[in-house]
Amino acid sequence: MKQWLLLALAATCAASPALAEPYIAARAGLKCMQCHVNPSGGGMRTVFGHAYAQTTLAGDPATLGSRFWGAPDSWITIGGDLRARFEQTQISGQPDSSSFDTQELRLYASAALIPGRVLLYVDQRIAPGGGNNQEAYLRLPLLDGRLALKAGKMYLPFGLRLEDDTAYIRQTSGINFETPDHGLELGYESGPWTAQAAISNGSAGASDFETGKQFSLRGAHVRPVWRLGASFNLNDTGLGTRRMHGLFGAVKTGPVVWLGEYDWIEDQSFAGGARKLQAGLAEANWAWAKGQNLKITLEYLEPDTAVLQDEQNRYSLINEYTPYMFLQLRAGLRIYAGIPQNDFQNRQSGFVEVHGFF
């Protein structure tokens, strides 16, 4: 019955535009856009995304389901994410620190101004601090939905859109949830293919006084048990040119979804001179019980290929429990390993997080 419900919803939402946890898409064998309004993932969920959260993600879908699937009106849909966390950190030579932290409260809204033709989308961060806009764009489907043009402020397409902005691949690429940009994006969706091409200011949210612009390309071939993609980004700034090349992919082996990404960056915009950087991620996601996901992540960062013995690693062990839709509980450990003379690069932290979403 659940499978039929999912298939029916997939059929009804196929033309709608994508979850910021790529392993979920890989586990389901679907594109990001199946569950999120944004074709490259993250932000507001589609009706299918809500149904998936209720029927497949949740540990107990039967007893605590909801009829609310994000659409209070036929042409307006809303959504949101709240993440609150307690984290304790150990740094050698320093007293342990711990804190409660409301990491974010974001609200999403979209209005189908002309259904199937014009979509207005807003992603507004409400907390912490005062509100600020993250995304605001118009989306215009073209050619029966195979193409879509976005204009406004948006997250840029590059690699795996992980929820964790502190992951090396997100931090080093500089394309993450902290750095939306203003510009245009053309998306392509057809069969197993998904692609996005964007031109934007390249100023990471700051005012742009230059004629040089940032070009982003991302494409992937999505199959039910594997996917493979590539990314490219060129940012031509007055400070220098920055080129990024990335490969990413995922494969499902039984209850485990494997994710991987490798990024190669040539950056001439550093004050101290040009640098070449590399960042990599390998992640295993094991659905060890209904509603449970155990995530093991190994990350690699080479901050400057011209400098030997400066590499850094990060190891994460995180369990995610989704008892029912709208709620996810996360607990994890992270171990950082860097050069021995830098205590901060060798810290450990543990956290417990509550993630509410709708």
Element (H, E) at 233: strand 226-237
Q: Of 52-60, 106-114, 182-190, 339-347, which part binds another protein (CB under 8 A)?
A: 339-347
Measured from the CB atom, the residue of 44 and 175 that comes closer to another protein is 175
* Angle at alpha carbon of residue 107, lines to 101 and 108, rounded to 5°: 145
Please give the structure tokens belonging to residue 212: 């040089």
How far is it, in rounded angstroms, from Cα 85 to Cα 331?
9
Residue in 21, 81, 104, 263 binding another protein, rule: CB under 8 A: 104
Residue in 131, 138, 142, 192 binding another protein, rule: CB under 8 A: 131
Measured from the CB atom, the residue of 143 and 271 that comes closer to another protein is 271
Residue in 72, 115, 130, 191 binding another protein, rule: CB under 8 A: 130
- Give me the 69-98 binding string for another protein, x by CB under 8 A, dash otherwise: ------------------x-x-x--x--x-
Under rule CB under 8 A, which residues in 268-307 are in contact with another protein? 269-272, 280, 282, 284, 298, 300, 303-304, 307
* Angle at alpha carbon of residue 260, lines to 257 and 262, rounded to 5°: 175
Measured from the CB atom, the residue of 39 and 180 that comes closer to another protein is 180
Q: How many chain residues interact with another protein (CB under 8 A)?
A: 71
Under rule CB under 8 A, which residues in 190-209 are in contact with another protein? 202-207
Q: Roughly how many angstroms between the first and final C-alpha of the chain, as a whole number? A: 23
Beta pairing partners, 89: 97, 349
CA distances from 264 to 156, 170, 176, 203, 260 (A): 17, 12, 16, 20, 14
Shortest separation between residue 60's beta carbon and another protein, angstroms: 24
User: Residue 207: what are its φ and ψ, rounded to 5°?
Assistant: -65, 145
Under rule CB under 8 A, which residues in 155-194 are in contact with another protein? 165-166, 171-175, 178-179
How far is it, in rounded angstroms, from Cα 333 to Cα 351?
7
- Give me the 229-268 binding string for another protein, x by CB under 8 A, dash otherwise: ------x-x-xx-x---------xxxxx-x--------x-
Q: Which amino acid is at 89?
A: T
